[in-house]
């Protein structure tokens, strides 16, 4: 029997749910497999067989919508059949569902890379995120619920958005009281926040399966398209890094999270947490925080050398462009599971 130091690492199969357009992230994992000399498959799911991520995965599965009762059983079927090791959700609505079924996935042999169910709920609900920031003493963008506005003194402009929204959907800048009254009836279950001048800083915070913060990579958004960064540059601010570490502990993070803040006169004020890989995470990976490699190594039982906090390229820019896949009809023959 080989000694533990010479034992071959086990195969690591990774499943990404609701993979959509996340081609860059999957390619980063592909490079990480090669650099580690590790065997394993990249699997993806989506409701749409034309999801671009399907074209770079080893196996792809069309699933029912998240609201369908067969969604979780369908995922568990994939996990068992494909011997999945890690599960990463890539959209916000997926996270509380997977977090609530962590034990089911563990029994099927896979580790769900999300916070605990309570932590996932805090990250999903912007009002609960704000309350957590205040309890932890993390500076936060001042926020109100609609019923709080009756007795609050507010200064315009404001920002209104759904408490459980994502990707900037349903978010609006409010210039005056008349607009506020309209959007309070238009936006479902809203939260109202002060509108800070910015810039906006998004930080990728990869955490181990046990909640250890591996890195904080902050990037300034230069241009946004459809709620996702199109141009950005890495920055470093120790105050932001401290807030991100505390936020990760607050939600009992496991796996990657993304923490957002706005600057006012150079001071950071924290806003949202997304308990998943952020859309701009390829910039942080390219800048030196190679979290795909760390996650694969951790799962395979390989030694991981994590650099000191802040050890990445600063002033490193990302600019994005569209890329296309061209498919004949038979190329759409992906596996369907569930309803």
Which domains can be identified in the chain, with CATH numbers? 14-124+198-336 (3.30.470.20), 142-194 (3.30.1490.20)
Tally of CA atoms within 13 A in the half-sphere of 296 that contains its CB: 26
Token digits for 196? 């800070």
Residue carrying structure tokens 């605990």: 116
27's CB contacts (< 8 A; 6+ apart) are: 56
- The phi, psi pair for 31, rounded to 5°, reads -65, -35
What's the rounded Cα separation, in Å, for the pair 339 and 330?
22
Token digits for 58? 């080893």
Of 270, 266, 222, nearest to 244 by C-alpha is: 270
Q: What is the pLDDT of residues 140-167, one digit of tens each?
A: 999 999 999 888 889 999 999 999 877 6
| pLDDT tens by residue, the chain, 339 residues | 344 445 566 899 999 999 999 999 999 999 999 999 999 999 999 999 999 999 999 999 999 999 999 999 999 999 999 999 999 999 999 999 999 999 999 999 999 999 999 999 999 999 999 999 999 999 999 999 999 988 888 999 999 999 987 767 889 999 999 999 999 999 999 999 999 988 999 999 999 999 999 999 999 999 988 778 899 999 999 999 999 999 999 999 999 999 999 999 999 999 999 999 999 999 999 999 999 999 999 999 999 999 999 999 999 999 999 999 998 876 665 665 543
Q: How much of the chain exceeds pLDDT 70, in percent?
A: 94
Q: Could you list the beta-strand ranges (E) of the chain.
A: 14-17, 42-46, 59-62, 86-89, 111-112, 143-144, 158-162, 172-174, 190-194, 200-207, 217-225, 228-235, 255-264, 267-274, 317-319, 335-336
Query: C-alpha angle with apex 165: 115 to 146, nearest 5 degrees?
Result: 110
pLDDT of residue 332: 66
Query: 195, 261 in Cβ contact below 8 A?
Result: no
């Amino acid at each position: 029997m080989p000694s533990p130091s010479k034992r071959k690492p086990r195969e690591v199969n990774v499943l990404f749910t609701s993979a959509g357009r996340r081609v860059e992230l999957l390619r980063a994992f592909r490079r990480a497999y090669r650099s580690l000399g590790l065997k394993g498959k990249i699997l993806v799911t989506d409701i749409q067989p034309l999801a671009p991520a399907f074209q770079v995965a080893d196996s792809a599965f069309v699933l029912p919508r998240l609201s369908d009762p067969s969604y979780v059983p369908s995922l568990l079927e994939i996990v068992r059949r494909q011997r999945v090791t890690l599960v990463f959700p890539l959209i916000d609505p997926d996270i509380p569902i997977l977090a609530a079924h962590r034990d089911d996935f563990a029994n099927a042999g896979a580790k769900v890379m999300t916070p605990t169910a309570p932590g996932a709920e805090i990250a999903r609900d912007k009002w609960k995120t704000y309350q957590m920031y205040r309890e932890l003493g993390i500076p936060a963008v001042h926020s109100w619920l609609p019923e709080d506005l009756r007795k609050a003194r507010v200064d315009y402009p404001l920002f209104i958005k759904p408490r459980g929204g994502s990707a900037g959907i349903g978010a609006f800048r409010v210039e005056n009281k008349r607009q506020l009254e309209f959007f309070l009836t238009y936006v479902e279950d809203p939260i109202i926040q002060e509108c800070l001048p910015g810039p906006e800083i998004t930080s990728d915070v990869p955490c181990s399966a046990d909640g250890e913060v591996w890195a904080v990579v902050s990037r300034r958004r230069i241009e946004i398209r459809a709620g996702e960064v199109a141009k950005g540059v890495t920055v470093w601010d120790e105050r932001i890094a401290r807030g991100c570490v505390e936020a990760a502990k607050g939600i009992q993070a496991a796996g990657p999270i993304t923490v957002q803040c706005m600057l006012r006169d150079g001071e950071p004020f924290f806003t949202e947490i997304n308990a998943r890989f952020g859309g701009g995470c390829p910039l942080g990976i390219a800048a030196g925080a190679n979290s795909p490699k760390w996650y694969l190594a951790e799962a395979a039982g390989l030694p991981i050398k994590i650099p000191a906090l802040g050890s990445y390229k600063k002033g490193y820019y990302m600019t994005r462009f569209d890329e296309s896949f061209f498919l004949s009809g038979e190329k759409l023959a992906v596996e369907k599971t569930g309803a």
